[in-house]
Amino acid sequence: MKKITTILALAFISKLNAQMLVADFESFTLTTNSFYKDTSSVPFQTSNAIFPYEWTKGQYPYWSGGTAYTNVADSVTGDFTNLYGVKALKGFFNSNNYAVMQDRAAIRVKSPHTIVEGFYFTNTTYAFTSMKEGDLFARKFGDTTGTGSGATIAQGAYPDFFKVTVKGYKNGAQKTDTIQFMLADFTFTNSVQDYIVKDWRWMNVSKIGEVDSLKFIMYSSDVGNFGINTPLYFAIDNFTSKIPSYVGLNDFKFSGDFVVFPNPFKNEITINSHQTIAKVKLIDIQGKCLLVDSPNNETSVKLNLEHFDSGIYFLEIIANEQKIIKKIIKH
């Protein structure tokens, strides 16, 4: 029974105190109907996420890639002069701020072992109007003029789509699972089911697993000689990630060497690091904090643990605002 209890406790530790972090963009201050703009292409960050941003300089400067937060409330202007408005008018649940992303935009997460739970998404006013009505560059979705009218596809029933594929990366390697969400779907047998998203919808991407970044690739059925004709913009809100506080037998790892010795130990244990150590916590297998030591930014810390019982413990070491968890065993 004791062995089973220990196994269950370890399983519990792996999920204990998981922290949910939500990037809702509400912490940013904007004047009315404005947006993030940085001509030096500086990324912005909030919560557990970093959002790359690209600005192209020159005679005709413009926002050329990445993500921009915004509070533009324009659900009517459906052309290139309105890159930042959404058809839903405001952010999720009528909030002020949200973010607009371009094709191949990426999001980096700050903490190791992060699982992105998901986010809300919707169409920009520009993309929605282009698909709904057509414009100088793109056709009206479902319209088959010159692409099947009177042939195998009835006029007005072309199987158009506009979608985003989310790819996850960990240590530079792409994860196996990808997630797809549809911004517009005209591929149904019954055209009554065709739709273009105009409200906020939740997308669960937790299936991808632990990541250090996500990349968003956009696709459309309307492709011309110079690429996709549909405006390659979409919006997100409430980007939600989950960070486990303790990961059981798997250590957090980040740049910088940490050596904990001896392990197993009897009475004392020493922590050596190339980084200055701000705090050390001793945590038992039930997740209870038993000891907290706050060194004066030293690179070597010695702990006397002779009065603790034999068993499995975890050391939480905080250095440079980052954290590592080490399993230790006392004889």
Taken in order of first residue, the domains within the chain and their CATH numbers are 19-243 (2.60.120.1350), 249-330 (2.60.40.3080)
- pLDDT value of residue 322: 66
290: number of Cβ within 10 Å: 12
Question: 77, 39 in Cβ contact below 8 A?
Answer: no
The label of the residue with tokens 């202007």 reads 77
CA 253 to chain centre: 20
Q: Which of 113, 117, 118 is nearest to 14 (CA)?
A: 113
Mean pLDDT of 276-287: 82
Q: Which helix (H) or strand (E) element contains residue 259? A: strand 258-261
pLDDT the model gives residue 129: 98
Choice between 8 and 215, residue whose per-residue pLDDT is larger: 215
Rounded Cα distance, 136 and 83, in Å: 16
What per-residue confidence (pLDDT) applies to 16? 44
pLDDT at 257: 54
- Mean pLDDT (whole number) for 4-22: 51
Q: What is the pLDDT of residue 279?
A: 87
Amino acid at 68: A
C-alpha 32: how far from its chain's center?
A: 26
**The predicted structure's pLDDT at residue 156:** 80
pTM over 0.85: no
Looking at residue 247, its amino acid is V
């557990």: which residue's tokens? 48
Closest C-alpha to 238, from 94, 131, 31, 79: 94
Whether the pLDDT of residue 8 is over 70: the answer is: no
Rg for the chain, CA atoms, rounded: 25
Amino acid of residue 200: W
3-state secondary structure (DSSP) of residue 9: helix
The pLDDT of residue 52 is 97
- Give the pLDDT of residue 315: 86
